[in-house]
Homo-oligomer: A and B are copies of this chain.
């Protein structure tokens, strides 16, 4: 089967499939004319990736999950560890967003939203009261971001 069929059957777009091949997540065969040929197993693998990505797993974690999926002798503990790591990352992200949301919602709430220039949102941004974040926003996070 060609790439567009594989895309339709797996739910992963052709461009993305080519990208996944490029980074070594799938290895479709090739026909004499250079066209990719997808087996059932490739489609199945792509669908697996699609679902893992839909749960927010990063590519590296998808790669690890894929390897475990194909490893008959895997320990479920390994799978669980990857998923737990991701869950923690999601929780951290949610916490960040909720903190932002709370501040922001208060400000929006307090803003008259009329044609006058006075605005608590602007005031908050221009005032040192709301410190420029001591840590975290800038700089690398060692592990996968969500």
> Which residues in A have some Cβ–Cβ distance to B below 8 Å?
10-13, 16, 44, 47-48, 50-56, 65, 68-69, 71-77, 79-81, 83-84, 86-87, 90-91, 93-94, 97-98, 100-101, 103-105, 107-108, 111-119, 121-122, 124-126, 128, 130-133, 137-138, 146
Contact = CB atoms under 8 A, between A and B. Distances in A.
Given A86-B104, A94-B101, A76 B119 contact: yes
A16 B137 CA distance: 12
Assembly stoichiometry (copies): 2
A108 to B, nearest CB: 5
A140 to B, nearest CB: 12
A107 to B, nearest CB: 6
Given A100-B55, A146-B97, A118 B76 contact: yes
Nearest to A133: B54
Contact of A53 (B54, B71, B137, B146): B137
Contacts of A12: 132, 138
A76 B138 contact: no
